[in-house]
Amino acid sequence: MRKINLSLPRSILIIAGPTASGKSGFSLEVADKYDGVIINCDSMQVYSELQIITARPSIVDERDIPHKLYGMISVADFFSVGIWRDLAINEIKACWQSGKLPIITGGTGLYIKALMEGLTQIPAVSREIREEVIARRKKIGVEAFHLELRGFDPVSAERLNKSDSQRVIRAYEVYVATERSLSDWHKQERIAEPLSAHYQSIIFEPPRDLLYAKCEDRLDLMVENGALDEVRALVDINLDPMRPAMKALGVSEFLAYLNNDITLEEALNAAKQSTRRYAKRQMTWFRNQIVQDYRLNAQYSKSLIPEIFSNIIK
């Protein structure tokens, strides 16, 4: 690990880690001390209707510290990593122009990678092909579908969890449409270059037992605070089950409860299991995909502030 130097021109501070690791709380402290703007890089916290179930910053936090790209689109709207990248770059440049520190905060690693490494061109896939692929997955089942993906795109299959339907279907449909694997397309010439900047990262990687306990406690609190009402609202607007917002942690499990398929206890237990698995994948991704300038093998708490700030130059 090395010291974080925020005095460098065109600095960007990335604060990332798995869900429930405390990165949002720490970002507030950093933004307050170093005159920063917190820019969201969580793919679910962009949706205006998902305040509670995505653990978005509170109205008070957003009032006290500048927050950007939180809750700014509807769950019914199209959104992508490319759109996020363009919006994030605009916010980052606005920070630089006003002398503020852009702080990229969240757990969607793909967004961070798109900012740091750029994007590659992948041809559009027709609606017909997508529907065929979705039907194929329903017909043969999750396990067999993932096994088929492994046959023509082993790199993507290894990277993607079989239950991550959105991304698994995407990898499968790209091959069907182009006869080239998604991992192969990712190696091609970029259509969007990386944003030139001094990137520095603080990554939270708590011990798993502490992190999992925090995940479970937070889900209990979400239910107490109205998460079920948010999920019920998604039902009321008749959102397509394949929309990204429907993949937010806890949504499918709470939908099953609202449909009287399982009990609330069963829904909570299933949501907790899904969240633990997701947090584990996030830790693996950050460990292997991003340079960790400063890693904290701890759950964030205010007691860590003196230690962390002593390793930041401004």
Q: How many CB atoms lie within 10 A of CB 220?
A: 12
Nearest Cα residue to 268 out of 256, 277, 278: 256
Q: For a pLDDT cut of 90, what percent of the chain falls above it? A: 72
d(CA 83, CA 96): 20
DSSP string, 183-203: HHHTTS-EEEPPPPSEEEEEE
- CATH class for domain 4-119+190-313? alpha beta
Report strand pairing: 36-40 vs 11-16: unpaired
What pLDDT tens digit does each residue of the chain (314 aa) get?
789 999 999 999 999 999 999 999 999 999 999 999 999 999 999 999 999 999 999 999 999 999 999 999 999 998 888 899 999 999 999 999 999 999 999 999 989 989 998 887 777 787 788 888 999 999 999 999 999 999 989 999 998 988 888 889 999 998 888 878 888 887 776 678 889 999 999 999 999 999 999 999 999 999 999 999 999 999 888 887 778 898 899 999 999 999 999 999 999 999 999 999 999 989 988 888 888 899 999 999 999 999 999 999 98
Report strand pairing: 119-120 vs 190-192: antiparallel
d(CA 64, CA 38): 11
What's the pLDDT score for residue 295? 93
The pTM assigned to this predicted structure is: 0.83
What one-character DSSP code corresponds to residue 100? P
Dihedral of the alpha carbons of 112, 273, 284, 190, in degrees to the nearest 10: -40
- With vertex at residue 285, the alpha carbon angle to CA 32 and CA 219, rounded to the nearest 5 degrees, is 65
CB of 45 closer than 8 Å to CB of 72: no
Report strand pairing: 11-16 vs 101-106: parallel
- CATH number assigned to the domain covering 122-185: 1.10.20.140
d(CA 15, CA 65): 16
In the chain, CATH 3.40.50.300 covers 4-119+190-313
What one-character DSSP code corresponds to residue 141? -
The secondary element (H helix, E strand) that includes residue 22 is none
Task: For CA atoms 229, 235, 238, 244, give the dihedral sign.
Answer: positive
Give the model confidence (pLDDT) of 68-113 as tens digits: 999 999 999 988 888 999 999 999 999 999 999 999 999 999 899 8
229-233, long-range: CB < 8 A, 24+ apart: 230/49, 230/50, 230/51, 230/52, 230/53, 231/53, 231/255, 231/258, 232/258, 233/49
In the chain, CATH 1.10.20.140 covers 122-185
Give SS3 for 312. strand
CB of 307 closer than 8 Å to CB of 15: no
CB of 12 closer than 8 Å to CB of 202: no
CB environment 52-73: b (16+ within 10 A), e (fewer): bbbbbbeeebeeebbbbbbbeb
